[in-house]
Structure 1
Amino acid sequence: MGVTAIFIDGAYLEKVLLHDHGRARIDFGRLVATMVEGDELLRAYYYHCLPYQSHPPTDEEKARYAARHRFFTALRHIPRFEVRLGKLAFRGVGKDGNPMFQQERVDLMLGVDMALLAGENRIAKMALLSGDSDFTPAVEAVKNEGVLTTLWHGSHAREVRPSAELLQVCDEGRELTAEIIQSVLRHP
């Protein structure tokens, strides 16, 4: 038993829910309770960005922004749940004519939060829901502080396959299986 912190890469979780679970709508409180695996929860951190808005924003952009803002506000009402927002930057138009966007600051905020909590001896365990190899150095730093690390991830399908390097550096790996998602579904 120990104190656990949960770190959720929101964009990655959205991909897992889309590609592995047919856009399942989940109860984030139940997901966190599952990920903490019976230990004491320090806090769950959720990292994402608000949608991009042009200047002036279109009606569609305004509606998408307002919906996402409501979602983040609802998450903030979950006990011990912290939402950390980066920025979504416009990166031009792709060859297919579609706009390209990139998250900024999200990975860095997540890695810094992990390292700070571990360095301050505030956690014994951490659970990371992501698939991004960019988190490998932060996980290594956390492990050097004696923190046990569990990577929660999607299937090994191309769209949500976790980085082999990240999976290897973590102490344990847990796939978000259909059974787990079924147990954390949001009920209207």
Structure 2
Amino acid sequence: MEDTTYLFIDGQYLQTVYRDLIWNDYGSSHEIDFDRLRGNGVARRAFYYDCLDDNQKPNETETDFQARVQAQEAYLDSINAMEGFHVRKGYLAQGRRGREQKEVDVLLAVDMMVHSFNRTMTKAVLIAGDRDFKPVVEAVTRQGTYVEVWYRPKTGSAELGRVADLVKPLQISTLVSWVKHEGLEAEGLPSTQRFVNDDQLCPPEALLKRGIVQLSQQTMRLAYDKGRYIVDVFRGRVYDCRHTFHDLPLLEKFLVEEYGEITWRDVRDDTSTAKQD
């Protein structure tokens, strides 16, 4: 049987993670490029589960309410119109913790079970963090389907991860790679490159050579020179960052996530401050 991957997305979970990490630093204009998320066809089909918030809020005018709902519908329709994508809608109802999504978990679980049972997929990628998906992941793996679970560290259920074949943390670098806005893609996050000796170092060489000395201390330092940041890391990689100051919050999150502890250092100042996740 040909290897076939299907992608199952808890829309509310993905949007919450994305907004917290991307919108807070770059603004709400940077939407998800779902074709990139699907891996430009690596996943043959993608199923997106969400619901409309179609209850009028207090102090919301009828005009504003209709416009908000229409915007939600248009957004979900745009996802559904993409090649390989299928949107499934649940509904909102009053629960113990306020208004909660209903039927979304069930719709996702049923689709995963059906496609696993029918052998239409050999691999399922689930973007979700809720423990409620544990039973369906267990059932699908027992049927022989390979299951990957992607969730943000500290926001996903460890029990859900334990029953999957593989857990992939949703790192900031992954989320940035899904950003639709071309301007942000151009800035992006720093790229890495390996180095072995001085001849392969990027300029300014003095800063990087200085960083090599620090490698033995198993620390990582970021140096600033003429609008350019050079990050020296103990894993033998150099991050060449042409970022402006307003990019630093996201850059800092990325580096702390990657290494656990970082030290910002301006070459014009001998003082340094450690940051920890």
TM-score (norm 1): 0.84
Q: Quote the residue 1:59 is aligned against.
A: 63
Q: Which amino acid aligns with 1:172?
A: L
Equivalent residues in 2 for 1:173-184, closer than 5 Å: 173-184=167-178
More deviation in 60-69 or 20-29? 20-29
Answer whether contact 1:135 1:166 (CA < 8 A) is retained: yes
More deviation in 45-54 or 15-24? 15-24
Residue of 52, 67, 76 corresponding to 1:50: 52
Answer whether contact 1:20 1:155 (CA < 8 A) is retained: no
Q: Deviations over 1:100-125 (max 9, x none)?
A: 21111100000010001001111110
Q: Which amino acid aligns with 1:126?
A: A
Compute the displacement of 1:14 (Å). 1.1
Q: Quote the residue 2:8 is aligned against.
A: 7
Q: Which amino acid aligns with 2:62?
A: T
Matched, 1:163 2:157: yes
Q: Quote the residue 1:137 is aligned against.
A: 135
Q: Distance in 2 between matches of 1:176 and 1:164?
A: 14
Q: Quote the residue 1:74 is aligned against.
A: 78
Structure 2, unpaired ranges of 5+: 183-277
3-state DSSP class of the match of 2:38?
Answer: helix
3-state DSSP class of the match of 2:44?
Answer: strand
Matched, 1:33 2:33: no
Query: Higher RCO, 1 or 2 (CA under 8 Å, sep at least 6)?
Result: 1
3-state DSSP class of the match of 1:33?
Answer: coil
Q: Distance in 1 between matches of 2:180 and 2:150?
A: 19
When the two structures are aligned, how many residues end up with a matched partner?
Answer: 174
Q: Which amino acid aligns with 2:49?
A: Y
Q: Distance in 1 between matches of 2:49 and 2:174?
A: 21
Q: Which amino acid aligns with 1:149?
A: V
More deviation in 69-78 or 23-32? 23-32
Q: Distance in 2 between matches of 1:167 and 1:131?
A: 9
CA shift in 2, pair 1:91/1:166, >3 Å: closer
Q: Distance in 2 between matches of 1:13 and 1:48?
A: 10
Compute the displacement of 1:76 (Å). 1.2
3-state DSSP class of the match of 2:39?
Answer: helix
Compute the displacement of 1:50 (Å). 0.8
Q: Quote the residue 1:116 is aligned against.
A: 114
CA shift in 2, pair 1:187/1:18, >3 Å: closer
Q: Distance in 1 between matches of 2:169 and 2:93?
A: 30
Equivalent residues in 2 for 1:76-115, closer than 5 Å: 76-91=80-95, 100-115=98-113
CA shift in 2, pair 1:54/1:183, >3 Å: closer
Compute the displacement of 1:130 (Å). 0.2
Q: Distance in 2 between matches of 1:42 and 1:141?
A: 22
Max Rg structure:
2
Q: Which amino acid aligns with 1:101?
A: R
Q: Distance in 1 between matches of 2:116 and 2:51?
A: 25
- Percent of residue pairs bearing the same amino acid type: 33
Q: Quote the residue 1:97 is aligned against.
A: none
Compute the displacement of 1:46 (Å). 0.1
3-state DSSP class of the match of 1:89?
Answer: strand
